[in-house]
Amino acid sequence: MSLTRDLVRLIDAKVLADADLERASLFVLDTVACALGAHGTEPARILTAVAPPGSGDTARQAFHFGGLAHILEMDDLHRDSVTHPGSVVIPAAWAIACARGLGGRAFLAAVLAGYEACCRVGMAVGKAHYRVWHNTATCGPFGSAMASARLLGLDEDRTVWALGNAGTQSSGLWEFLSAGAMSKHLHTARAAESGVLAALLAEEGFTGPATILEGEKGFFAGLCPDPDPAAVNADPDRPWALTETSIKPWPCCRHTHPAIDAALSLHADLGGAAIRDVRVATYRAALDVCDRPDPHEPYGAKFSLQHCVAAALFDGSVTQESFDGPARHRLSDLRARVSLAIDPTLDRAYPAAWGATIEVTSEDGRVLTATRHEAKGDPDNPLDAGEMAAKARLLLTGGGLEPAAADALMAAILDLASDRPVASLGLFAAGAASRSGRSAA
């Protein structure tokens, strides 16, 4: 036996209810909206030029969709594993389902299986892994391979091979942040593509190592200083990982969201008063990734706790425009007054809970404090169906879809549990057709 074989059996044994499929369709809507909403950005132009969506190459289709889904920093986040499973698993499942002419129910079931594999591996990598490696990039291939294997109808052995060869492709380093480079979009693109390739190869009999996780020269040995291998298959009866995944309301690194949520709650209390200083206390990983006092480009600002908190406190909102040059310049003085520290209690609670405390001292001498142990969009504090629809509509129309076409596409995605063909959604054809006002749904 091996950890991956046990994982395959665990996922196969999980009970799948109609409510789980319906929940999965909401996450598909969120991921599709994130991807189509990125049309018009420079990274999307480049990804489309290199991996055009109409190429007919199944793995390349997953690459394209996976890359676009991560550009706006609005894709979902599973806290315990510190992964963005939607931008990896859903593109892979979509590419296979379209290529094989499959229906929505099989597609949604595969999405649930893929989230489960990605998140369970992510929960086992340990905290130290994340300091160098991007969990979504390293653990994502396990999820995309699992979803692809499900849709291809692979038996247990071939599914284990697919996971083995997905794991050997795992990579993705945080160094891109030092220069604000575009590599993070490549992480999700490659993770989606790698899983598709691994499953297609396994379908043909291409073998992979069953002990890819725990082997002497495997994933944990090479990439994880403090792994917890038992976490891969622990608590098999817990809810599907997808149902424990957060949806982002703000377009920036999820580590900034608890602080944003707390800061927004103080905006009205300040009543426009000048701010003397701001103190943010949170967990170590948030500082490791988001301690950026003077970001010089939009992506750096999206990974700056100082900037995000300044925008929330001063403007009372955080939008895509909050990270543009004018906003960075306008908020530079307040941003310089934001200091960061580690809160030992919040740090111990991470990653099961992502928390932050904001303390603001105004020039008139008031001290205002707010704490969040979970942010808006977490399973404990979720976006409701209306808020998720509003987010999706905003992204889709922002990406070029006419409102009527956006509404039709949203309705079609939410109808996937009725088993409509996945290819009927059009998706990236929808992005191309949107400016002529045609609905792809």
- Give 249-297 pLDDT, tens digit per residue: 999 999 999 999 999 999 999 988 999 999 999 999 999 999 999 999 9
**Residue 16 Rama label (left phi>0; alpha psi -120 to 50; beta):** beta
Mean pLDDT calculated for residue range 382-391: 91
The pLDDT value recorded for residue 105 is 98
Comparing 297 with 434, the larger pLDDT belongs to 297
Q: What is the mean pLDDT of the chain?
A: 94
The pLDDT value recorded for residue 211 is 98
Topology (CATH) of 3-244: 2-methylcitrate dehydratase PrpD (1.10.4100)
* Domain covering 254-372 in this structure, CATH number: 3.30.1330.120
Q: Does residue 351 have a cis bond before it (omega within 30 degrees)?
A: yes
- Give 23-81 pLDDT, tens digit per residue: 999 999 999 999 999 999 999 999 999 999 877 899 999 999 999 999 999 999 999 99
Q: Distance of CA 403 to CAs 410, 425, 439, Å?
A: 10, 16, 10
Residue 400 has pLDDT above 80, yes or no: yes
DSSP string, 78-117: BTTTTB--HHHHHHHHHHHHHHTT-BHHHHHHHHHHHHHH
Residue 431 has pLDDT above 70, yes or no: no
Q: How would you list the strands of the sheet with 356-362, edge to edge? A: 338-342, 275-282, 356-362, 367-372
The amino acid occupying position 430 is: A
Q: Distance of CA 317 to CAs 257, 263, 295, 312, Å?
A: 12, 10, 19, 5
At 314 the three-state DSSP class reads helix
At 294 the three-state DSSP class reads coil
Strand 338-342, strand 367-372: pairing = unpaired
> 387-390 long-range contacts, Cβ below 8 Å, gap at least 24?
387/249, 388/26, 388/29, 388/30, 388/247, 389/29
| Per-residue pLDDT band at 437 (split at 50, 70, 90) | very low
- Give 134-174 pLDDT, tens digit per residue: 999 999 999 999 999 999 999 999 999 999 999 999 999 99
pTM for the model stands at 0.93
Token pair 């006002």 in the structure block, residue: 437
- Give 194-246 pLDDT, tens digit per residue: 999 999 999 999 999 999 999 999 999 999 999 999 999 999 999 999 999 99
Residue 436 has pLDDT above 90, yes or no: no
Phi then psi dihedrals of residue 360, to 5 deg: -115, 130
The pLDDT value recorded for residue 385 is 84
The pLDDT value recorded for residue 31 is 98
Give the number of other CB atoms < 10 A from CB of residue 101: 9
* Per-domain residue ranges of the chain: 3-244, 254-372
The pLDDT value recorded for residue 142 is 98
**Residue 205 Rama label (left phi>0; alpha psi -120 to 50; beta):** left
The amino acid occupying position 187 is: H
The pLDDT value recorded for residue 139 is 98
Length of the chain: 441
Alpha carbon distance 124, 219 (integer Å): 11
The pLDDT value recorded for residue 383 is 92
| Per-residue pLDDT band at 441 (split at 50, 70, 90) | very low
At 279 the three-state DSSP class reads strand
Residue 350 has pLDDT above 80, yes or no: yes
Using N-to-C axis directions, what is the helix angle for 58-69 and 42-50, rounded to 10°?
A: 170
The amino acid occupying position 68 is: L
> Picking from 14-28, 174-188, 206-220, which range would have the lowest pLDDT averaged per residue?
174-188
Alpha carbon distance 334, 275 (integer Å): 7
Residue 111 has pLDDT above 80, yes or no: yes
